[in-house]
Amino acid sequence: MRLKISLLKEPKHILLICVGWTTAEELYSCSDDHQIVKWNLLTSETTQIVKLPDDIYPIDFHWFPKSLGVKKQTQAESFVLTSSDGKFHLISKLGRVEKSVEAHCGAVLAGRWNYEGTALVTVGEDGQIKIWSKTGMLRSTLAQQGTPVYSVAWGPDSEKVLFTAGKQLIIKPLQPNAKVLQWKAHDGIILKVDWNSVNDLILSAGEDCKYKVWDSYGRLLYNSQPHEHPITSVAWAPDGELFAVGSFHTLCLCDKTGWSYALEKPNTGSIFNIAWSIDGTQIAGACGNGHVIFAHVVEQHWEWKNFQVTLTKRRTMQVRNVLNDAVDLLEFRDRVIKASLNYAHLVVSTSLQCYVFSTKNWNTPIIFDLKEGTVSLILQAERHFLLVDGSSIYLYSYEGRFISSPKFPGMRADILNAQTVSLSNDTIAIRDKADEKIIFLFEASTGKPLGDGKFLSHKNEILEIALDQKGLTNDRKIAFIDKNRDLCITSVKRFGKEEQIIKLGTMVHTMAWNDTCNILCGLQDTRFIVWYYPNTVYVDRDILPKTLYERDASEFSKNPHIMSFVGNQVTIRRADGSLVHISISPYPAILHEYVSSSKWEDAVRLCRFVKEQTMWACLAAMAVANRDMTTAEIAYAAIGEIDKVQYINFIKNLPSKESKMAHILLFSGNIQEAEIVLLQAGLVYQAIQININLYNWERALELAVKYKTHVDTVLAYRQKFLETFGKQETNKRFLHYAEGISLARTKEDSSFASHAPARISDFITLEESHSGCSGACL
């Protein structure tokens, strides 16, 4: 990836201060020469909009944000301009000054609208940070510093403000008495900051000639090497994947993790201000020599198996098949904004249309018009793909047919990214931004909430989510990483009872599902781990460690990221930007394929051929999950789990189908489900017995009383248990029923007329009459 730079021969300004985009093809600039100039990139024309009064020297300006979700308003209509005389000015797109407001003592150094356009923040040389209404009425003075505040940015939720204070960065919430976060960020004065709403990361640049990346808690994620000159500008791309850095004769394009894609050395002087176009494809910079520098992001790469796609020009892509070196050129009518290559399809969104290419035929794409021009995210699954624009989410088939558009209250499509949205063949998962502990689940085919409509809730904030890609809908699993860096897995099927969330690992930084089978990989602390069969946690958690593949990950350095997991190859991006490819064993994927086709004999033969404990452990868990106890017996014997082999033999010899099913569930630790199966089949005694065997005495007694049978059996087992440990009964309920049984038997012995043994129903009726309690109380 690199920047393609263009500059006019002659500058249009004397000393350029700031720039801002209205649309992807239109830019405004203003400078100390009091001119506001409009640039049209389609026609390469420049027009003077207005010449400001001689006493107004602009310092910063910011366009009023487009209304979220309003499709009609395609461009900004007004902007705020701050000036050296202590005022800010609300100016229309046509150049008319709507209002001028006295704001600060000394220059107003920066002004920024919040994301909703409901508030404006200004900072100045007087060290004050002020919040204003959209009409220019003062709401509050948020803070007062002893030094000039050079830059300011809103938090993603518009509830916090980030500003500079000398060498310090400060995050201050709008709510009074809320905790303020402050830390030393640079060794020199901080000149610029930016805070991205999608990835929630902070950029800072200072006179120490460095730029840095921080998370929203003030933790340093990246610290650049010192440049030759102070860094005068930084700006995030709208989607949060890239950022640009400006300095003296320097323009740099960087990845969100900090490493640099491209470093250009244009003859511009210092670049005081950088603005990204709305679609994130180009940059404009305000240069110290009066020029406006334009830079287009080109030579982006997408790879999948043997295909490599490169964006060579704004409207041209090159496809290369590395197997036969065949090259195809793809021409587009409009500039390319986003693209994705996966599952044998290339999906390309331009400013107006979407193109869907098959890797089998590059000549005849499916083309359809987009509802919104600026696509910020493309996700692919095997059967369909997802487009995210500024207002909605759209699901399309690879034939170009619209399928669904899931929605939930308070959804903000403009801040969704690949970590907070996941797609499979039948499910769409979206992490809520308002409450980051919640994941919304939708049916892909209808866009309606999945199951009974309940969302998935976790105890901690969730950072990253991923759906598995294969298998049946009822078996669909979602893995996620929370704020504590715990990797958890749970089922997306949510009917009635709350699905259990199980922790797979700790200190997991990044993860990815395989595209062809349900194998999960992740980077856990200093280890690279592959969970060959994550469902093992639901079947037999004891053998989970035996189903893992581990290797040292120290070679990937700090903060690596898993890019993809295709076939048996994992691609990892290191912190310095280099790509590392890891190959894992192909045999687990073959085993998954055999099991999904119920080819158990082939699966056993494969394990005998490979002779690895990992394969046998995976087969054991798969066999139990699919109720094939013969294969399970072979696999457990191979990994030396003799006690489980004996229990499987016991299960195989059980007389009834229901008993076998219940004990298989019991084998997997699903005690409640096993009990339900037995009770539904009328096997009450077995249901009581499994609770006795597990020492669930209260539940065993509860069942016996409820079904009016075997109360004396439960009491006898309980008595024997206590005698073994030399203990006395202290549970009031057991003492109560033991006394009742004793009374009933005394009554039987003293009755001459009846020779039948005492019935539990007689005892329960007697109890109810004495206590005045209904049967429900028991």
Which pLDDT tens digit goes with each residue over 527-544? 999 999 999 998 888 999
DSSP state of 320: E
Q: Quick one: pLDDT band at residue 746, thresholds 50, 70, 90?
A: low
Predicted local confidence at residue 121, as pLDDT: 95
Query: Hey, is 381 helix, strand or coil?
Result: coil
193 neighbors 207 (Cβ within 8 angstroms): no
β-bridge mates for residue 704, sequence order: none
**What residues have CB less than 8 Å from 702, skipping those under 6 apart?**
none
- Fold match flag (11-294 vs 300-524): yes
- The residue with greater pLDDT, 635 or 748, is 635
332 neighbors 350 (Cβ within 8 angstroms): yes
DSSP for 557-605 reads -SS-EEEEEETTEEEEE-TTS-EEEEE--SHHHHHHHHHHTT-HHHHHH
465 neighbors 456 (Cβ within 8 angstroms): no
CATH of 11-294, one of 1.10.357.10, 3.40.1260.10, 2.130.10.10, 3.40.50.2300: 2.130.10.10
**What residues have CB less than 8 Å from 573, skipping those under 6 apart?**
257, 560, 561, 562, 563, 579, 580
Among candidate residues 300, 304, 257, the one with its CA nearest the CA of residue 510: 257
Give the mean pLDDT of 650-676: 83
- The residue with greater pLDDT, 760 or 648, is 648
The mean pLDDT value of the chain amounts to 87
Q: Is the pLDDT of residue 146 over 90?
A: no
**Which of 4-8, 559-563, 618-622 has the highest average model confidence (pLDDT)?**
618-622
Predicted local confidence at residue 763, as pLDDT: 39
Query: Hey, is 162 helix, strand or coil?
Result: strand
Predicted local confidence at residue 743, as pLDDT: 59
**What residues have CB less than 8 Å from 43, skipping those under 6 apart?**
none
Q: Quick one: pLDDT band at residue 433, thresholds 50, 70, 90?
A: confident
Least confident of 119-128, 375-384, 675-684: 675-684
Q: How far apart are CA 290 and CA 278, in angstroms?
A: 23
Place of tokens 């007062």: 144
β-bridge mates for residue 251, sequence order: 246, 264
Lookup: tokens for 350: 């331009």
Which pLDDT tens digit goes with each residue over 292-328? 899 999 899 999 999 999 999 989 999 999 999 999 9
Query: Hey, is 764 helix, strand or coil?
Result: helix
Report pTM.
Answer: 0.85
Q: Which helix (H) or strand (E) holds 264?
A: strand 260-264
Q: Quick one: pLDDT band at residue 745, thresholds 50, 70, 90?
A: low
Q: Is the pLDDT of residue 207 over 90?
A: yes
Q: Is the pLDDT of residue 47 over 70?
A: yes
Indicate the domain borders of the chain. 11-294, 300-524, 525-653, 655-738
Q: Quick one: pLDDT band at residue 602, thresholds 50, 70, 90?
A: very high
Q: Is the pLDDT of residue 773 over 70?
A: no
CA angle 578, 262, 390 (to 5 degrees): 90
Lookup: tokens for 476: 């669909």
Query: Hey, is 26 helix, strand or coil?
Result: strand
Which pLDDT tens digit goes with each residue over 687-743? 888 888 888 888 888 888 888 888 888 888 888 888 888 888 888 888 888 887 765
131 neighbors 142 (Cβ within 8 angstroms): yes
Q: Is the pLDDT of residue 288 over 80?
A: yes
Q: How far apart are CA 2 and CA 230, in angstroms?
A: 22
Q: Is the pLDDT of residue 120 over 80?
A: yes
**Taking the CA of residue 149 as centre, how many other CA atoms within 13 Å lie in the half-sphere pointing to its CB?**
29
334 neighbors 350 (Cβ within 8 angstroms): yes
Packing angle, helices 642-652 and 657-667, rounded to 10: 160
Give the mean pLDDT of 375-387: 93
Q: In whole angstroms, how far apart are CA 733 and each of 697, 705, 736? A: 11, 11, 5
Predicted local confidence at residue 72, as pLDDT: 40
**What residues have CB less than 8 Å from 312, skipping those under 6 apart?**
298, 299, 318
Predicted local confidence at residue 684, as pLDDT: 87
Give the mean pLDDT of 481-492: 93
Give the mean pLDDT of 106-133: 93
Q: Is the pLDDT of residue 376 over 70?
A: yes
Q: Is the pLDDT of residue 71 over 60?
A: no
Burial of 45 (0-12, 13-18, 19+ CB in 10 A): exposed
Q: How far apart are CA 251 and CA 264, in angstroms?
A: 5
Q: How far apart are CA 715 and CA 702, in angstroms?
A: 12
389 neighbors 370 (Cβ within 8 angstroms): yes
Among candidate residues 313, 276, 312, 270, the one with its CA nearest the CA of residue 294: 276
Predicted local confidence at residue 665, as pLDDT: 82
Give the mean pLDDT of 479-505: 85
Q: Quick one: pLDDT band at residue 776, thresholds 50, 70, 90?
A: very low
Give the mean pLDDT of 416-420: 91
Strands of the 211-214 sheet, one edge to the other? 190-195, 202-206, 211-214, 220-223
Predicted local confidence at residue 718, as pLDDT: 87
Q: How far apart are CA 719 and CA 247, in angstroms?
A: 83
Q: In whole angstroms, how far apart are CA 619 and each of 153, 167, 530, 568, 633? A: 54, 58, 16, 19, 10
Q: Is the pLDDT of residue 276 over 80?
A: yes
CATH of 300-524, one of 1.20.20.10, 2.130.10.10, 3.40.1350.10, 3.40.50.720: 2.130.10.10
Q: Quick one: pLDDT band at residue 759, thresholds 50, 70, 90?
A: very low
CB neighbourhood size of 24 (10 A): 22
Predicted local confidence at residue 548, as pLDDT: 94
Helices then strands, counting H and E runs in the chain, come out as 13, 55
Q: In whole angstroms, how far apart are CA 400 and each of 358, 389, 555, 702, 728? A: 12, 17, 43, 58, 74
Give the mean pLDDT of 253-281: 91
Determine what percent of the chain is predicted with pLDDT higher than 90. 55
